[in-house]
Amino acid sequence: MKQLGQYKIIGKLGAGAMGEVYLAEHQLLKVMRALKVLPGELSASGSFRERFLAEGQVLARLRHPHIVQVHDMDIVDNIYYIAMEFVSPDGKHAWSLDKLVARTGGRMAPGGTARVLHQVGEAIAYAHTQQVVHCDIKPSNILVVRDNHVCVSDFGLSKVVGQSYLEQSIKASLAASIGIEQTRIPESGSGSAQASIGGKATLGGKSSAQAASLVGTYHYMPPEVQEGGEWTPRGDLYSVGVLAYVLLLGRHPVGRWKNPSEADPGIATAWDHIINKLLAENPEDRFADAAEMNAAIQSSFHTGSDRHPTKMKTGPGLSGKGKSWETVLPETARFLIEHFVYARQGEWNNSDVRELITRIQQMPGCTNIPKKDLEAFLEEEGGACRIEYKRRKKQLEEEEEYRRLKLQEEIDRGREELQETARHIKQEMKITTAGAPKKKVTAKEGCWGCGCLVLGLIVLGALAGCTAMIAL
């Protein structure tokens, strides 16, 4: 396909659950656009054209700095397409959040995660006031922009293609993938989570990219939607919770998932409250709306719109002296450095640093960054990480010691109670003193007493075993 309406096709940018995306140039305006070409099988539906036009008018009215703008919609030779703003950090290449995170080892530093979540929260908060629910928040639908922010794409597209089509496609992709698990809330004493990727095989002629995207959509679906319910604004909040967990830990919260701070001591416990609130099984237990979620993020991490949520210091090592890091280093460079620091808990060698700097300077928009600026930011982030990690480690050790002492108190109390019971049983089984009538202890009473003593000893042994395990 070389031409679509007034647009000259430059090349293919990618494919997903909602169709294929092409980079194109408007022949009259000479501006670059991203064309979303919707799946061809949808044109067979009698109601699709009406829904396409109606929902397109709603999407075109969305105006927000963190939402990808819809500029045009049309139908050419029974091909339905949407022309959107081309979001790129360098004007040439499109960077989605999943692609960026893949370059950083599958995780993002807590500071970067807070910043991304706050901006996504602003986007969906605005969209919800316009009665638009996204229904498909996930890393591939979040695009990185050069001016230190991200934009959310595909708002309301699931409504355009229709819930029925989306559900059928997801079911087909799930049937062809491996090991899909149901997302559940965490339980005490839980084991580590195992992410289920799937999407390696395909059904119905879908490409592997489309199948993987559909399986990804399923992972971000709230429980009520997975069970056939309606998608509401609080459903979007659940998806943001999955997004946060994936960015922090590099895996989906499936099965009996651990709290972030339990899975990684370098992550603040404040994340536990926010993520547990977002991933509540009952929608009523989640944040009331995206604004409340953002208030919690801002109060916990002191972040705001288009601000770096961590330190904004300046220093003599900066080429742009007197400027903040966000004006000196591009967003992608800071993301990579933050991940590098937290993934290694603030410790690394010179070879690791050389490899990191080389990789950053080869990325679009980062080729002219002075090496000393990258090293200065790396050292600053490393120092903060080491302090935070030591503080968190000490806190965990203190909490562990407190639990050990409490358990020891329980064991001591249990031992005293068992000794008292043993004395009582012994007294009951003794022959009464001289001059007093003898009292026989029946077999039933004797067995009951012995049984209590044996059971108590078993419990005491189990508690002692727990203490030994904690000590280890």
Q: Measured between alpha carbons, how far is 171 from 165 in angstroms, rounded to an integer?
A: 10
Beta carbons of 120 and 150 less than 8 angstroms apart: yes
Amino acid occupying residue 59: L
Residue 114 domain flag: no
Q: How confident is the model at residue 206 (pLDDT cuts 50, 70, 90)?
A: very low
Q: Are 185 and 161 in contact (CB under 8 A)?
A: no
Whether 466 is covered by a domain: the verdict is yes
Asked whether residue 157 is domain-assigned, the answer is: no
Q: Hey, is 67 helix, strand or coil?
A: strand
Per-residue pLDDT of 147-161, as tens digits, reads 558 999 988 666 655
pLDDT in tens, 96-105: 898 888 887 7
pLDDT > 90: percent of the chain = 23
Alpha-carbon span 335 to 329, nearest angstrom:
10
Q: Is 80 inside a domain boundary?
A: no
Cα atoms in the Cβ-side hemisphere of radius 13 Å centred on 173: 26
**d(C-alpha 446, C-alpha 440), whole Å:** 10
- CB-side neighbour CA atoms (13 Å) of 334: 26
Per-residue pLDDT, 160 = 58
Predicted pLDDT of residue 461? 60
**Amino acid 381: pLDDT:** 82
Q: Tell me the β-bridge partners of 307.
A: none
CA torsion angle 299 302 306 310 (round to 10) = -150
| Residue 97 CA from chain centroid, whole number | 12
| Residue 460 lies inside a defined structural domain of this protein | yes
Q: What are phi and psi of 469, to 5 degrees?
A: -65, -40
Mean pLDDT along residues 435-449: 53
Q: What are the phi and psi torsion angles at 440 (to 5°)?
A: -90, 140
In a domain, 153, yes or no: no
**Tally of domains within the chain:** 1
Report, as an integer, the average pLDDT of 287-305. Answer: 81
Residue 311 pLDDT more than 80? no
Identify the domain containing residue 460 by its residue range. 400-471
52 occurs within a structural domain:
no
Stretch among 23-32, 170-179, 306-315 having the lowest mean pLDDT: 306-315
CB distance 279 to 238 below 8 Å: yes
Angle between helices 331-343 and 371-429 (to 10 degrees): 40
Positive or negative: CA dihedral 253, 255, 259, 265: negative
What confidence category does residue 283 fall into, taking pLDDT thresholds of 50, 70 and 90?
A: very high
pLDDT at 464: 53
What does the angle CA 25 – CA 29 – CA 31 come to, to the nearest 5 degrees? 40
pLDDT of residue 238 exceeding 50, the answer is yes
201 vs 145, more confident: 145
Find the radius of gyration of the CA atoms of the chain: 29
Give me the pLDDT at residue 180, please.
39
**Who has greater pLDDT, 268 or 388?**
268
pLDDT of residue 38: 81
Region 458-462: mean pLDDT is 56
- The average pLDDT across 190-218 equals 39
**Can you tell me the mean pLDDT for 91-95?**
81
Which amino acid belongs to residue 382?
G
Instruction: Tell me whether residue 423 is in a domain.
Output: yes
Residue 456 has pLDDT above 70, yes or no: no
CA 131, CA 159: separation in Å to the nearest integer?
12
Selected residue with higher pLDDT from 318 and 110: 110
- Residue pair 136/16 in contact (Cβ under 8 Å)? The answer is no
Q: Count Cβ atoms below 10 Å from residue 30 Cβ, excluding itself.
A: 7
At 214 the pLDDT is 45
pLDDT at 447 over 70: no
Look over the chain and give the mean of its residue pLDDT values, rounded to a whole number: 75
Whether the per-residue pLDDT at 204 is higher than 50: the answer is: no
Residue with the bigger pLDDT between 175 and 180: it is 175
> Is the separation of the CB atoms in 162 and 48 below 8 Å?
yes
